[in-house]
Amino acid sequence: MSRPFAGRVDETDWVALREVVPAATAPLTLRDDPARKVTLSTVLPLAWPALVRAGGEVLLGLQVGTRSGDVSRDLAAALEQALVTEPGNPVQLVGLPGPGPRLQDLLTDDPIQVTVHPGFDYWVEGAGELEGEVAESLEVANASVVPTVRLASVTSAYWCRMHERSHLRWVLPDDEEPLLDALARLSAVRGLEIGPDTRYVGSFRAHGLLVPVWDLPRDLDAAALEEPVAALRARLDEELASPRPLSTDERRARAELMSRQLTLR
């Protein structure tokens, strides 16, 4: 399914946590059992699809392989199994999930509240007291985490620092064709810039949504992006609200934007 999280008001957050953010959590609320504690996690130890803590809390892993072709159904199947798994055990899925509910059926419609973490210490209660191989394994996992910050001024935009540069990756909710037109109009007049020495480098398509990416100076932090990115969102909204035929320069800009686009499978 091309847009497995479609229908949720927080569709972009689900896509971002699956494809962009290394370590983050978000509380989930079940339609049929709102008192049961369920937490979405970008990743779980050993890539488990789900884990039930000793106290009964369910952790649902998001960055897991697709099994049925519908990510939403796969996650729902893992969640269903976790809800009947004894506390203190991971969920081990066998075979393909058959017909059944999707995440949209099991969860309330409330948008998730994302918390980005600097590492995976949240996997283990009392992580600071661990010793031996478990502590070493957690240390290795934490060392792999790219520093990431969620912007507050717009939805589902994430700053990250990688090697010699920083980047902005922004999951946009808009339908692709009008969005590309709007991006092309802005690109033709250098309207995609978000500050000095920043560069729009292209976009990738993830779960049916476009994720534009900007290259940033390494020392440019997330706070400095809040105002220019909010201004860019306003410019995009203006272009999306008043569509008009593209000019020759804008058609050329659109073709260039599409040439720098790829699809995550």
Per-residue confidence band for 181, with pLDDT thresholds at 50, 70 and 90: very high
Q: What is the pLDDT of residues 91-127, one digit of tens each?
A: 987 777 778 999 999 999 999 999 999 999 888 765 4
- Count of residues making up the chain: 265
Query: Which domains does the chain carry?
Result: 11-143 (no CATH), 150-263 (3.30.1460)
pLDDT given at position 39:
97
Per-residue confidence band for 135, with pLDDT thresholds at 50, 70 and 90: low
Q: What is the mean pLDDT of residues 132-144?
A: 74
pLDDT given at position 68:
84
Apex CA 120: angle with CA 49 and CA 221, to 5°?
Answer: 120
Sheet with 165-170, strands from edge to edge, namely 148-150, 157-162, 165-170, 209-216, 199-206, 261-263
Least confident of 170-174, 216-220, 259-263: 259-263
Inform me whether the pLDDT recorded for 178 exceeds 70. Answer: yes
Q: What is the pLDDT of residues 196-217, one digit of tens each?
A: 999 999 999 999 999 999 999 9
Per-residue confidence band for 130, with pLDDT thresholds at 50, 70 and 90: very low
Q: What is the pLDDT of residues 232-252, one digit of tens each?
A: 999 999 999 987 899 999 999
pLDDT given at position 143:
86
Q: What is the mean pLDDT of residues 171-192?
A: 95
Inform me whether the pLDDT recorded for 192 exceeds 90. Answer: yes
Specify burial of residue 261 (Cβ count, 10 A radius: 0-12, 13-18, 19+): middle
pLDDT given at position 140:
81
User: Which has the higher per-residue pLDDT, 68 or 10?
Assistant: 10
Q: What is the mean pLDDT of residues 75-90?
A: 94
Answer yes or no: are the C-beta atoms of 158 and 168 closer than 8 Å. Answer: yes
Which residues partner with 174 through β-bridges?
A: none
Q: Tokens 């201004």 appear where? A: 231
Q: What is the mean pLDDT of residues 131-151?
A: 80
Answer yes or no: are the C-beta atoms of 224 and 195 closer than 8 Å. Answer: yes
pLDDT given at position 12:
98
The percentage of the chain sitting over the pLDDT mark of 90, rounded to a whole number, equals 75
pLDDT given at position 129:
47
Report the candidate in 98, 103, 107, 94 with the shortest Cα–Cα distance to residue 62: 103
